[in-house]
Structure formats: C-alpha cells, structure tokens
Structure 1
Amino acid sequence: MSSAQESLQRLIEGNQRFVAGRQEQSTAEMMEKRRELVEGQAPFAIILGCSDSRVPAELVFDQGLGDLFVIRVAGNVVAPSQIGSIEFAAEAFGTRLVVVMGHSNCGAIQATLDELQRPQENRSPNLRSIVDRIRPSIEPLVEAAPQSGDEDLVERAVRANIRASARQLRYGSQILEELVQSGELMIVGAEYSLETGEVDFFEGVDAG
C-alpha cells in the first residue's frame, strides 16, 4: 500500500492530467481492471466529497475502478455513517490517505448561508440536518460579514466547512484519531474549482 504522501502525489498528478485534458484511463484498461477487482479491492485514497454532479472524484483525479473509496454527501458533511465508512476503508484496506473535498459555489454552503441570513420555517427536516452540520463552521463568518451577496463570504465559508469536516474526522473517531497519531493515516482538506478543474490541497498537507 502506498504511503499517504505517495497517494497524495498520485492525486495531484491525476488532477493535473484532468485539467490538461490528458486522461489516461481507457475503456480496455477499465474492463481488465473490472475483472481483477472481482477478488477484492485496495483503494489508495478515501475521498469524502460533495454530491454535486459536477465533482465526480474519479474523473477529477483521473483514476479508474478500484482506485478510490468515495463517499459523497451534500456539503461534504461528516455524520456517523460517513465516519463509519472511512473507518471501514482505513481498517479493511489499509488506505493511508483521506481527502475531504469541497468545491467552489457549493449549493449546500449557500443554503446554509441563506438559512443564517433569512431563516425558513418550512425547510425539509432532512435538508435542515445538513444545514445544521454546516452551520457551526460558518456562523462566525456570517456574524462578522453579514452581507448576503458577498462572494468572498461564500469562498471563506466553503473552506471553513472543509476544515471543520477534516477536523471532525481527526478528532471525532477514536479509530481514526489513533491511526493519525500513529502516522498510519493522513487527513487533508481540498477544494475543487468548478471554474478551472483544479484541486487545491490547502489543509493538513504537511501532516503525516
């Protein structure tokens, strides 16, 4: 199994290929890989990303079948089911790298900002559960800069939410915390740009 730093470099290089339009994955290779994967899997990275249809991790990082263990949820929020999925992958496959990947212009972030600035009584309780998980990380930003049309506020909120999710993974699970402390796991935060296709690994990259 690759080290966390090797896995991170592999993602960086894959994203560079994606941005340049030089993807390496071919249909023939994927068919061969599919047959090999019947016996098991060994993903080199775990990705907790947003459900947004514009941010498919395998394409963004130019990876194929069996390379990434991907968990997607609106707003890349952390709930028990997400933590359990990451614990499973880290323990079962020995995967050394977890990436919490948000993206620019995130709808879940905007919905949370809207709720903080203009509360709605009739919001779906299921959607509210997502908003409530995002709220603590961005509420201080809204209090400091309450302008509803502030693009800078949205950008800072996206990153604050990514940092909060990464921190929750590091300290909200005894299993993951022990793996991080022992150097067996690295958890980093990243933001995907819808405009450029680039992924910026901006949080936790010096750890591990």
Structure 2
Amino acid sequence: MDTLAALLAGNDGHVAAFRDRFDDVQDVQRPEAVTVCCSDSRVLQDHMWGNDRPGRVFTCSNIGNRVVQRTGAGTVVSGDVLYPLEHAGTDLAVVVGHSGCGAVTATYDAITTDVVSEPPGIRHCIGLLRPELEPCIERLPDGRGRADTVNDLVECNVDRQVRALRESEDVPDGTTVAGVVYDFQDAYDGERGELHVVNVDGERDPSVLRERHPDLAGRVQRRVTH
C-alpha cells in the first residue's frame, strides 16, 4: 500500500490549494470544454492545459481517445463525451491524441498482422479503432519507419474521432469539434508537452486553419496533410 499512501500524501497539497475553489461549483457545473484524451499515464489531462479550476474542463479518457461506444443500437457517441454537450451547456469538444500512442500501435499491429493477442476488453477497444485506422494506413506515404507510421496514424485517428462527433445526430448543433495531438516524443516541431492543433470542425489544411483561426495559428501543425 506504499504507492496508495504516497498518492494520498500528494492529495494533501491538493486539498490545501483547492479548498476554496469549489464554492461556485459544488451544486452545478458548466464546463467550457469536454476533452477526450487517451488514458496514458504520460498524458497529464488537466495539467496540459494549465487548468487549476474545478468545473472548467470535463475530462474523459480511454485507450485510443475514442469518442464512440457499441450499444444495442449500434455504434454511437459515448455517453461520457455526450453528457456535458447535452446537459451542461458545453459547446466545445476536443479530441486529444498523443505521440507514440499504445492503442494506435496495437491497432496498427492487428491490422498488419491480423493477430490480436490481448484480453477481451483490450480486443474490444482495438476493434473500435480498427475500422477507423484501416483507411488511414492505405493513404500513408511509403517508406515510413514504424515510429513515424504510428505517429501519422495518431493524427489520422484524431481526424476520424472528430469526424464521428461531427457526423453524429446526437451531438448538439453549434458544437465546435477540435482535434489536437499532445507530443512528448519530438514528433512535431516544438517543445515536449506542447499541444498541436491538427483539425477544427473537419478542416485539416494547416494554411486554412491558420487563416480561419489566427488566434491558434502558432499551434497549428500537421504531419499528414491529405
């Protein structure tokens, strides 16, 4: 239990810093954005935004930063993502991929070898990503090494998740959907830990994105532009 004890000790500092920050959100939340992150321990989901305000960001996470789930009604936008858009007045959804994503790597291996040696729960997740990444693989440039291929597919996966949100009738009209990549492997030009904007409302062309969103221009960067 040493690890849990250490985590709880860390919570002491959180308590001291945050004790007065819940006054306005104890009974209601109106988050400005919902983020869909990969549940990777290296992806610091609130810290990456410099967020220290409860109620500002509604954070969802799963392996592969997927926005969909399978139900008896078919594949639908996950309730985790949909809830703040439907019930809390949130009008911005941000899909957050990251360099070197293990889920994307596992899906790439499953596609290229047709072998998945994973427990059922992980196979289920790979099964949700596979139909999204298969078309991406077909369009990637030839001669890419494994690491570059995976990072190209990370970007493509973000695009596909953005598209799923934009095409869903369950997502309220007027919702802005953005896609970003969190980089800690030097996959982009920039500092480790930077977020790079790769997609806004389906637009992927960096020059168009910079023109339409000059306030984001310094963070717009793509590996794959097709």
TM-score bracket, normalised by the shorter chain, equals 0.7 to 0.9
Alignment deviations for residues 106-127 of structure 1 (CA, whole Å, 9 cap, x no partner): 0001101111222325432221
Match of 1:160 in 2: 156
Match of 1:200 in 2: 196
CA distance, structure 1, for counterparts of residue 153 and residue 194 of structure 2? 19
CA contact (8 A) 1:109 1:158 kept: yes
Structure 1 gaps, min length 5: 1-25
Q: 2:45 aligned with 1:50, yes or no?
A: no
Match of 2:189 in 1: none
Check 1:92–1:70 CA distance in 2 against 1; reply closer, same or farther (3 A cut). same
Higher strand share: 2
State percent identity of aligned pairs. Answer: 29
Higher-Rg structure is 2
Check 1:124–1:148 CA distance in 2 against 1; reply closer, same or farther (3 A cut). farther
CA contact (8 A) 2:77 2:170 kept: no
Structure 2 gaps, min length 5: 1-13, 70-75, 186-191, 202-208, 214-226
Match of 1:68 in 2: 57
Q: Residue 154 of structure 1 aligns to which amino acid in structure 2?
A: V
Q: Secondary structure at the match of 1:175?
A: coil
Match of 1:30 in 2: 18
Q: Residue 203 of structure 1 aligns to which amino acid in structure 2?
A: N
Match of 2:127 in 1: 132
CA contact (8 A) 1:75 1:134 kept: yes
Number of positions where the alignment pairs a residue of Structure 1 with one of Structure 2: 177
CA distance, structure 1, for counterparts of residue 49 and residue 84 of structure 2? 19
CA distance, structure 1, for counterparts of residue 183 and residue 91 of structure 2? 25
Q: 1:191 aligns with which of 177, 181, 190?
A: 181
Q: 2:89 aligns with which of 90, 94, 109?
A: 94
- Structure 1 moving runs of 4+ over 4 Å: 26-29, 143-149, 205-208
CA contact (8 A) 2:29 2:88 kept: yes
Q: TM-score, normalised by structure 1?
A: 0.75
Q: Secondary structure at the match of 1:189?
A: strand
Q: Once the 2 structures are TM-superposed, how far is the Cα of residue 42 of structure 1 from its aligned partner?
A: 1.6
Q: Residue 72 of structure 1 aligns to which amino acid in structure 2?
A: S
CA distance, structure 1, for counterparts of residue 114 and residue 97 of structure 2? 24
RMSD of aligned alpha carbons: 2.6
Match of 1:39 in 2: 27
Q: TM-score, normalised by structure 2?
A: 0.69
| Higher mean displacement: 115-124 or 58-67 | 115-124
Higher relative contact order (CA 8 A, sep 6+): 1
Q: Residue 129 of structure 2 aligns to which amino acid in structure 1?
A: I
Check 1:122–1:68 CA distance in 2 against 1; reply closer, same or farther (3 A cut). same
Higher helix share: 1
